[in-house]
Structure 1
Amino acid sequence: MTSRVGLRFLQNSRAAFQRFTSPFRTPGGRNLRYQSTEAGSSSSTAQPQSFLQRSWNSPIGLKTVHFWAPVMKWILVLAGLSDMAKPADKLSLTQNGALMATGAIWTRWCLIITPRNVLLATVNFFVGLLGATQVTRIFLHRRSVDGSAKEALKDMTHEATGGAKAIVHKAEEVVKKN
């Protein structure tokens, strides 16, 4: 019994290793990615696929999260564009700083992962660009109000770290009570 299980494990692991090292080719040389489901059809007589069929069957196609996540994320870009009409004193520095940072980080990540998702990288690039634009607007507004760039940066740093300091202060109070 144990020798059969061990043999099956060895056979399955070898097959898995072959799939891992050559994911789109079988030893016979047939392409697995767009294989036809019809019995007995050869690759030379297969009909070329239309754009819609290729999009549907693609590893980043219409039926996957790799397509729908970027489509939904464009809402953030539209919200950022609508914030361009707001005055700079009404904008949140922490929110726009977070949008700028996540846009930059996820743009790079989308180009590293497999399958490479250029649509998601594009939307993240625009999220980061809008965040950087809004942070620049906030900085320029604060500089015009305070009169110097140093004071504006000091105020922005205080605002960005003020929330964290308040959380730490509350946590210290809770610890002192217990």
Structure 2
Amino acid sequence: MAPMNNFFRAARPVFRNTFFTSNAARNGGKRFQSTASSEQAQESFFKRMWNSPIGFKTVHFWAPVMKWGLVLAGISDFARPAEKLSLTQNAALTATGLIWTRWCLIIKPKNYLLAAVNFFLGIVGVVQVSRILMWQQSQKNKTLPAAAEEVKENVKEEVKKVVKA
């Protein structure tokens, strides 16, 4: 038991200095000492974002801004009938969204804006793929006469449109 006791006795100062000492004690009694210089504190939000590693002049900012266009396009496709949607395209968007969401949380600096847009891209893709697969399943369950009747109705509507034009 003595060697273990010596180990804890030797390790005690390390733990006290790193884990249990308060910030106030480490900063010489100054409880709320700023680490930023007064010049940095005076910078405007725009200047800080401009000079930031994830700021306005980097791909870390503009990639998510541009990628929201894909999300909005996917959301607008909710109004389209499922038979007009591409399964492969929406599966690719789903995979892209889910894979890149994880990647955005691994890279340095972490890009939470890009992770959020990719997450929503994946969600939109999952919804669209689900709609397409449910529509395909419903088409498989239709009987041949019911499918022929539907085609007949569609042809009638197309003929009426052509005759009116």
Matched position secondary structure for 2:57: coil
Q: Equivalents in 2 of 1:122, 1:78: separation in Å?
A: 14
Q: Tell me the percent identity.
A: 66
Tell me the CA shift for residue 82 of structure 1. 1.2
Report the count of equivalent residues: 106
Residue 102 (structure 1) aligned with residue 105 (structure 2): no
> Structure 2: 5+ residue runs without aligned partners?
1-35, 143-165
Residue 58 (structure 1) aligned with residue 48 (structure 2): no
Q: Equivalents in 1 of 2:108, 2:53: separation in Å?
A: 10
2:39 maps to 46
Q: CA RMSD in A?
A: 1.6
Letter in structure 1 aligned against 2:39: A
Q: Within 5 Å, which residues of 2 pair with 1:132-143?
A: 132-143=126-137
Between structure 1 and structure 2, the one with the greater Rg is 2
Q: Within 5 Å, which residues of 2 pair with 1:104-119?
A: 104-119=98-113
Q: Equivalents in 1 of 2:38, 2:99: separation in Å?
A: 45
> Normalization by structure 2: what TM-score?
0.60
> Normalization by structure 1: what TM-score?
0.56
Tell me the CA shift for residue 50 of structure 1. 2.4
Q: Within 5 Å, which residues of 2 pair with 1:124-163?
A: 124-147=118-141
Residue 71 (structure 1) aligned with residue 65 (structure 2): yes
Runs of 4+ in 1 over 6 A off after TM superposition: none
Tell me the CA shift for residue 123 of structure 1. 0.7
Q: Equivalents in 2 of 1:101, 1:147: separation in Å?
A: 28
Deviates more, 1:49-58 or 1:110-119: 49-58
Q: Equivalents in 2 of 1:45, 1:138: separation in Å?
A: 58
Higher helix share: 2
Q: 1:104 to 1:44 in 2, by over 3 A?
A: closer
